[in-house]
Amino acid sequence: MRPRVGVSACLLGESVRHDGRHKRSEPVLELAKAFELVPICPEVEIGLGVPREPIQLERREGVTKLLGVTSRRDHTEAMTSFAARKLSELSGLSGYVLKSRSPSCGLVDTPLIGTDEKGSGLFAAALRAAYPSLPIVDERSLEDPEACARFVALVRAYPTGV
């Protein structure tokens, strides 16, 4: 049985982004030669349609919220509830590839509106907190052959999956 790796669905070519497009990544697709790729789009799974209003992370007075850019609709609770539920369903994963800069999936480089900082998307933060030893990268890391090889090695060495 091949190791299972969770992947932001847009990176696999699924048209799930707010603008109805995808962000297909060839280095991510190459991982399918070694791993079973499990597509997940937290934004679609919380009920946001395709296409949809863009969302962003905003930090005001120390509180981070996931808000619609124009409507200001608050999706924070929906995303945190989804993450808690979904993470319990992700048994057997040996790694994860996230979409950089995403308000749900960004690993470390998501803009935090209202600050000069960058941080993690809400789903990514929950994933890292729940499974701190799980090999996790974003698609940009896989563009570097050495970093990609390290990730592949870590996934193969991951003992039992989450």
Cα distances from 66 to residues 60, 104, 109, 112, 137, in angstroms, run 11, 8, 15, 10, 22
Find the mean pLDDT for residues 52-73: 95
Question: What rounded mean pLDDT belongs to the chain?
Answer: 95
Would you say the C-alpha torsion 5, 105, 130, 154 has a positive or negative sign? positive
What's the one-letter identity of residue 141?
S
DSSP code at position 74 = B
- pTM for the full predicted model: 0.94
Neighbouring C-beta atoms of residue 59, cutoff 10 Å: 14
- pLDDT score at 162: 52
